[in-house]
C-alpha cells in the first residue's frame, strides 16, 4: 500500500502534489473539527450556561438575604434568559411550594416546574448544585442554592437558548475556519504559481539548450530555485567557454601533429630521391627520428588522457607502489635538463595507490613544469598520503590557479598543454586530489589522499 502510494505521488506533477496536500489538510481539519472540536464546543457551551445560571442565582440569593426574606417582586435581578424560583422547604410536598417566580423570556409548563421542584427537594445543593432535567423533547439546565434554612432558589435555563448560543458559536467558528482556510489556500496557490512558473522557465531553458537553440534564463529570486537557475546559466556559459577552448585546442594539436608529420614526410621523400635535406643521410634521419619522437610523445599524452578518463568512472583498485622510488627515477632522468636548478628531496617510504606508469607521468609533468618556471630551487616532499613539489618561480594569479588543471586551458606562455590535465585525470582516478597555491617564495603543487566520502563528491 505504501509502495503504491509512493509510486502514485511520484507520477504526479508538482501542482497536483500541492493541491493534493491542500485537499488532505482541509479533510484532516474537517475531521478534527467535527469529531473533536464539536464535542469541545458542547462542553464549553454547557459550562457557559451553568456559569450564567450561577451568576444570576447568586445575585438573587444575595438580594433576598439582604431583604431578610422580604419576597417582593425582584424580577429586575434576574437575567432575561433565566427563570428563578424560590421555594419554601417547610411546606408540604402537595402544597404550592413556589412562593416567588421571577420569569424570564422562556416559559415552562406546570409539569416541568413540579418535577424540577420535587427533584430539588431530594438533592443536596452543597454536593450537586448543577443538574439537567430531561423529559421527552424538553431539556432544562438548572442550578439550586439555599437562601437560608427555609428557602431554596432554583434557576432554570431553557434548552432553546443553549441551542441558539451553541449554533451561533459553532457558526462563528466555522466561518472563521473557512476564512482562515480560504486565505491559506489563496496564499498557497499564489506561492505554488511563483514556484511552478520559474520551474517551467528552467525546463524550457534546458529544452532549448538540448535542441541547440538560443536560450536565455532570467529568474530574479534569492532562494534555492534562483540558485539553481544561476548555476544552470553559469554551467552553460562554462560549457560554451570549454567548447571554444576545446575547438582551439584541437586546432593547435592538429597543427602540432601536422608539423612533425610534414617534416617526416618531406625528409623521407627527399632521402628516397637521393637528396639529404640536412647535410648528410645520418643527420637527415636524426631529424626524422627527432620529429617522430615528438609525434610519439604527443600521441602518447593524448592516449593517456583518454585512458584515464575511461578509468575514472570505474574507480580502479590497481596496485600500490613505492612513490619514493618513482620520484627518484624521474629525477634521475630529468636532472640533466636544467642543471643549474637545485632539486632537494625529503622522501619517506610511502606507498601510493595506482600503477607506476601513470604516476611516473604525473611526477614528470609536475617536475617539468617546476623546472620550466623555477629560478634556482625545487623542493620535493613526500609524506604519508601526500606529495608536495614547490619551486621558487613567479607567483600565479588567483584566476590562473582556479583554471590550472582544466583541460584545454592555455598556459602563461599562451600555448596549450596537456601536462596538467593528465596530472588531474590520473590523480582523481586513483582517489587523490591535486591543487596549487602560491607561497612566499613561489608556487606549490600538492597531491593528497582523499577520504571515501570526498572521493564520491569529486566524482559527482
Q: Give the residue extent of every domain in the chain.
A: 1-197, 224-307, 315-459
pLDDT band at 292 (very low <50, low <70, confident <90, very high): confident
Cell of 331: 629525477
Q: Which of 2-11, 159-168, 445-454 has the highest mean pLDDT?
A: 159-168
- Per-residue pLDDT, 95: 54
Residue-wise DSSP of 218-276: -----SHHHHHHHHHHHHHHHHHHHHHHHHHHHHHHHHHHHHHHHHHHHHHHHHHTT--
pLDDT per residue as tens digits for the range 309-360: 555 555 455 578 899 999 998 888 776 667 788 999 999 999 998 888 889 8
Nearest to 138 by CA among 112, 169, 103, 167: 112
| Strands laid side by side in the 138-146 sheet | 98-102, 82-88, 151-158, 138-146, 130-135
Rounded average pLDDT over 273-293: 83
pLDDT per residue as tens digits for the range 179-213: 887 887 788 778 878 888 888 888 898 888 888 88
pLDDT per residue as tens digits for the range 93-152: 655 567 777 777 777 888 888 888 888 877 777 777 888 888 888 888 899 888 888 888
Contact 29, 35 (CB under 8 A): no
- Per-residue pLDDT, 443: 93
CATH (one of 3.30.565.10, 3.40.640.10, 2.40.160.40, 3.40.50.720) for 315-459: 3.30.565.10
SS (H, E, C) 86-117: EEECCCCCCCCCEEEEECCCCCCCHHHHHHHH
| % of the chain with per-residue pLDDT over 90 | 11
Contact 298, 256 (CB under 8 A): yes
Architecture of the domain defined by 224-307: Orthogonal Bundle (1.10)
Partner residues linked to 344 by β-bridges: 379
pTM of the model: 0.45
Amino acid at each position: 500500500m505504501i509502495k503504491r502510494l509512493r509510486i502514485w505521488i511520484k507520477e504526479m506533477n508538482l501542482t497536483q502534489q500541492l493541491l493534493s496536500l491542500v485537499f488532505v489538510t482541509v479533510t484532516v481539519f474537517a475531521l478534527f473539527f467535527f469529531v473533536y472540536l464539536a464535542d469541545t464546543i458542547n462542553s464549553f457551551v454547557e459550562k457557559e450556561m451553568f456559569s450564567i445560571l450561577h451568576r444570576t442565582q447568586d445575585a438573587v440569593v444575595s438580594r433576598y438575604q439582604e431583604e431578610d426574606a422580604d419576597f417582593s417582586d425582584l424580577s429586575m435581578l434576574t437575567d432575561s434568559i433565566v427563570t428563578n424560583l424560590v421555594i419554601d422547604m417547610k411546606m408540604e410536598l402537595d402544597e404550592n411550594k413556589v412562593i416567588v417566580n421571577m420569569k424570564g423570556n422562556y416559559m415552562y409548563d406546570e409539569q416541568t416546574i413540579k418535577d424540577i421542584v420535587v427533584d430539588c427537594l431530594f438533592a443536596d445543593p452543597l454536593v450537586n448544585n448543577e443538574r439537567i432535567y430531561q423529559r421527552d423533547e424538553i431539556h432544562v439546565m438548572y442550578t439550586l442554592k439555599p437562601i437560608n434554612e427555609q428557602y431554596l432558589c432554583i434557576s432554570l435555563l431553557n434548552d432553546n437558548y443553549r441551542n441558539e448560543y451553541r449554533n451561533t458559536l459553532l457558526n462563528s467558528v466555522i466561518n472563521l475556519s473557512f476564512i482562515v482556510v480560504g486565505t491559506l489556500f489563496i496564499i498557497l496557490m499564489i506561492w505554488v504559481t511563483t514556484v511552478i512558473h520559474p520551474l517551467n522557465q528552467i525546463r524550457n531553458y534546458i529544452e532549448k539548450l538540448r535542441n541547440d537553440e538560443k536560450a536565455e534564463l532570467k529568474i530574479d529570486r534569492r532562494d534555492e530555485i534562483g540558485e539553481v537557475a544561476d548555476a544552470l546559466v553559469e554551467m552553460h556559459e562554462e560549457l560554451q567557454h570549454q567548447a571554444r577552448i576545446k575547438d582551439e585546442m584541437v586546432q593547435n594539436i592538429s597543427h602540432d601533429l601536422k608539423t612533425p608529420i610534414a617534416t617526416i614526410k618531406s625528409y623521407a621523400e627527399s632521402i628516397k630521391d637521393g637528396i639529404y635535406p640536412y647535410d648528410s643521410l645520418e643527420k637527415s634521419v636524426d631529424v626524422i627520428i627527432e620529429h617522430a619522437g615528438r609525434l610519439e610523445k604527443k600521441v602518447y599524452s593524448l592516449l593517456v588522457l583518454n585512458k584515464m578518463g575511461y578509468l575514472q568512472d570505474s574507480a580502479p583498485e590497481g596496485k600500490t607502489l613505492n612513490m619514493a622510488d618513482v620520484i627518484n627515477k624521474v629525477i634521475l632522468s630529468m636532472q640533466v635538463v636544467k642543471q643549474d636548478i637545485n632539486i632537494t628531496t625529503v622522501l619517506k617510504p610511502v606507498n601510493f595507490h595506482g600503477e607506476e606508469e601513470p604516476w611516473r607521468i604525473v611526477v614528470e609533468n609536475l617536475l617539468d613544469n617546476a623546472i620550466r618556471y623555477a629560478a634556482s630551487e625545487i623542493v620535493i616532499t613526500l609524506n604519508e598520503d601526500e606529495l608536495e613539489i614547490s619551486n621558487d618561480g613567479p607567483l600565479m594569479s588567483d584566476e590562473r590557479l582556479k583554471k590550472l588543471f582544466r583541460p584545454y586551458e592555455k598556459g602563461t606562455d599562451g600555448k596549450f598543454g596537456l601536462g596538467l590535465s593528465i596530472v588531474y585525470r590520473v590523480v582523481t582516478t586513483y582517489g587523490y586530489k591535486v591543487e596549487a597555491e602560491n607561497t612566499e617564495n613561489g608556487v606549490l603543487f600538492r597531491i593528497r589522499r582523499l577520504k571515501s566520502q570526498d572521493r564520491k563528491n569529486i566524482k559527482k
